[in-house]
Chains A and B, each alone.
Chain A
Amino acid sequence: MPELGRAALVVALGLVLYAALAGGYAALRGRRRLLDSARNALFAAFAATAAASVVLLVALGTRDFSFVTVARSTSRELPIGYALSAFWATQEGSLLLWLLVLTAMATAALALNRRLTSDVLPWTVPILAGIEIFFALLLVFVSSPFETAPAPADGLGLNPSLQNPYMVAHPPFLYLGYVGLTIPFAFAMAALASRRIDERWIVATRKWTLGAWAFLGFAILVGAKWAYEEVGWGGWYAWDPVENAALMPWLVGTAYLHSVMVQEKKDMLRVWNVVLIALTFSLSLFGTFLTRSGILNSIHSFTESSIGAWFLGFIALVVAASVTLILVRLPLLRARTKLESLVSREAAFLYNNLFLVALALTVLWGVLYPILSAAVRGVALTVGPPWFDFFAIVFGLPLVLFMGLGPLIAWRKASLRSLGRSVAWPSAAALAAGAGLLAAGAGSSPAGLVGYTFAVFVAAAIVLEFARGTRARHALGDGGWAASLAGLVGRNRRRYGGYVIHAAVVVLLVGAIGIGGFSTTREAKLAPGDSVRVEGYTLRLLGSTQERGANASEVRAQLAVSRGGDDIGTISAGKNRYFAEQQTSNEVGIRTDWLRAEDLFVIADQFNSDGSVFVKVIVNPLVNLIWLAGAIFVGGSLVAMWPDAREQRRLERRFAEQKAFARA
């Protein structure tokens, strides 16, 4: 039913056009019913987009090859899960996913903040509608998922690299992150347009920002897990432009989440915060542009298309409109308070902001430089991992240090003496750990050694914060120790959820340094019966097998693994040859030692006619801490996002007072 899909998208476009025009006029002239009508149009646009999405999903599920999208991205033998994931594997499908998530989130955000959007921030409706217009226009006129052609006997299949469970999950999480950032951006711009720059827009969007940021962070890790298992070079993050595309808005979003706390506590950094949220949203659009425009030569970029110019134009429009609005409202945004001391929590947040933004802009330059050099000089120069690694160390290490220092410093002002007392125990723990690691031979990677030392400092600071807080609550008679800890976290969810997220970053850092600084690689050509030794492991080639899978032929090298003379099983690695796609993929073998968080990683590069196999064996120490960090990150994010009824009541009381006074 391509006609239904096309019609649903046309209806959605009409609705968002109406919402933008009627909403804009209503906000300008203060028309209540017209604004409600415009808001309803946004709600209805979600229903229309959902209808279009169902049409595409049914077409993918039934392999209706009369849809060009379905014929290009699925085949009869493709398992159903991967066939449905072609929804976001294709350019037009991913644009539809953008619009679906955006209309869903806009509906939820407007419904949950009904009062705020109906008479406090009326501009939210036309701004959200304006963003939706762009995606609806692309889907209706430029890149339709409902284009049809005479159906071929079979489809072309799905890129083998995308036939992986992590890649099924990665794009939806990524889009929940990218698109979720639209909500705080729209509310911030609406607050500026409405001249309502009090803290209501921040409170209304806090959970949205945190949620989008958490989804984006989790998506980056799911993508890293996919790259680790599927791309098969033995690493987890390679500073690929598409990886960086997601990292940049996450870094700036991290800066915003910290600096917005300064605005809430001290009424400072108003300009900085609206700049950060505008930059975060622009970078999320830029990320979609990089992935979908086909401008990049990346292992993660699966499309080549003509939508690049449209995206660039829209990004330019968003940046120009945001900058103009911020400049026009600059007098309103002027802070009423000043930084009291350079040694204070807010100063620490400011330093961490500077490092985060500097790192994000450095990464941006690394992504842009090859594109600009190709456009200006006609030579496509590349910026490789050493360049990114250097700046990640230069900006990242002080960032980690401030992550530990920040929670230990009081707001407003801290004397050096009390700061010294606070940092004494974490510093002693860090120095002892650093000395121990040096003695154990970790000095082979100086940056890694410093990173581990700082990581211990942050971990100790987190433990100290929990311990001191729990002790203080216990002294207040808050029940037993467990009840005191629960009360501490329950009453300060954002702060202690944030500390859990800091702990996740520490665990990730330990894992990343482990694989980046201390992994060992060995390459060998093995005949059946031959062995190779690496870091205490011995791998003996048993032979090769060949099987026919559901949609590919699978060739595997079987290797027996022993350690310290004990057999610990077998590992298989090889290649898949996909029938419909006519492509080959590397299928690595991974054996995990959970106690050491270590992986034995095997790549079978070449199968020879004499039965020998060229293998690459890598031992990645601590790499599984990276994935564990993902779980801790999700846990911390949930704690920080959990609704706080007391704060909600406080805000409602404040507005109720306002109403009561007006009636007096």
Chain B
Amino acid sequence: MSSAEIAAVVLAAILAAVCVVFVSRPFLREPAPSGDSLDDLTPGERERLRLAEERDRALAALKELEFDHRTGKVSDADYREQVGPLRRQAAEAIRALDIGVERPDGKSRD
């Protein structure tokens, strides 16, 4: 075996060892954690997230409608027709979030 080959084997072994340590790091750092499960969302939390998305979507749509109206892309009549339903949609999502659909422990927030 030439010296270059020996150097290559040594470097390869170092690379493999460093990789093994790095991959084991989560177990080395927390050998006995208090909890080891992934932070999964409950159905209630998922519903709240959906409502928050719906609220943000409606608010963004309202903002866009205002801007399009100001630039003249949306006529006064179109604006009046669309602004009401969008405001209602945003308000319903905000109300549902305020009421609290379900807490993670399954109980209602109120």
Contacts and interface: CB of A to CB of B under 8 A. Distances in A.
Given A31-B37, A33-B33, A40-B25, A267 B16 contact: no
A654 B52 contact: yes
A140 interface: no
B52 A43 contact: no
A72 to B, nearest CB: 22
Interface stretch (A103-111, A381-389, A438-446, A465-473): A465-473
Interface stretch (A159-167, A406-414, A525-533, A609-617): A406-414
A593 interface: no
Contact of A421 (B4, B9, B24, B72): B72
A7 B9 contact: yes
Contacts of A43: 22
Interface string B7-40: 1110110011011001111110010010111111
Contact of B23 (A30, A37, A51, A472): A37
Given A3-B9, A664-B103, A11 B52 contact: no
Contacts of A3: 5, 8-9, 12
B92 interface: no
A658 B12 contact: no
Given A118-B38, A654-B52, A40 B78 contact: no
A228 B33 CA distance: 62
Interface string B47-63: 01110111011001100
Contacts of B97: 657
Nearest to A415: B78
Nearest to A27: B38
Contacts of B81: 413
A265 B61 contact: yes
Nearest to A37: B26
Most buried by A among B33, B40, B54, B71: B71
- Nearest 5 A-B pairs (CB), nearest first? A7-B12, A3-B8, A36-B26, A468-B71, A4-B8
Most buried by A among B18, B36, B103: B36
A11 B50 contact: no
11 contacts: A30-B38, A31-B37, A36-B26, A37-B23, A37-B27, A41-B23, A118-B38, A265-B61, A418-B73, A654-B56, A661-B45
Contacts of A27: 38
Contact of B8 (A7, A18, A413, A662): A7
A471 B23 contact: no
Contact of A44 (B19, B54, B71, B78): B19
A119 B40 contact: yes
Contact of B19 (A48, A411, A475): A48
A36 B104 CA distance: 25
Given A18-B23, A33-B30, A40-B23, A408 B75 contact: no
Given A33-B33, A413-B78, A657 B26 contact: no
Interface in A1-33: 1-4, 7-8, 11, 15, 18, 26-27, 30-33
Interface string B63-80: 011011011111101100
Contacts of A34: 26
Contacts of B71: 468-469, 471-472
B75 to A, nearest CB: 4
A4 B12 contact: yes
Name B's interface SS.
helix
A27 B39 CA distance: 11
Contacts of B12: 3-4, 7-8, 11
Nearest to A22: B23
Contacts of B4: 1
Interface of B: 4-5, 7-9, 11-12, 15-16, 18-19, 22-27, 30, 33, 35-40, 45, 48-50, 52-54, 56-57, 60-61, 64-65, 67-68, 70-75, 77-78, 81-82, 97, 100, 103-104, 109
Contacts of A51: 15
Nearest to B12: A7
A650 interface: yes
B61 A412 contact: yes
A176 interface: no
A40 B19 CA distance: 9
A662 B48 CA distance: 10
A26 B39 CA distance: 12
A266 B85 CA distance: 14
A650 B57 CA distance: 12
Interface in A412-426: 412-415, 417-418, 421-422
A303 to B, nearest CB: 28
A265 B73 contact: no
Nearest to B1: A3
A664 B107 CA distance: 11
Nearest to A194: B40
Nearest to B52: A654
A119 B22 contact: no
A198 interface: yes
B72 to A, nearest CB: 6
Nearest to A4: B8
Nearest to B67: A472
A265 B60 contact: yes
A349 B66 CA distance: 21
B78 A198 contact: no
Contact of A33 (B26, B70, B100): B26
A100 interface: no
Given A33-B27, A265-B57, A661-B103, A11 B37 contact: no
Contacts of A415: 75, 77-78
Interface in A250-272: 264-267
A108 B39 CA distance: 22
A1 B37 contact: no
Most buried by B among A26, A48, A409, A412: A412
A122 B82 contact: no
Contacts of A634: none
A30 to B, nearest CB: 4
A344 B30 CA distance: 54
A35 interface: yes
B60 A7 contact: no
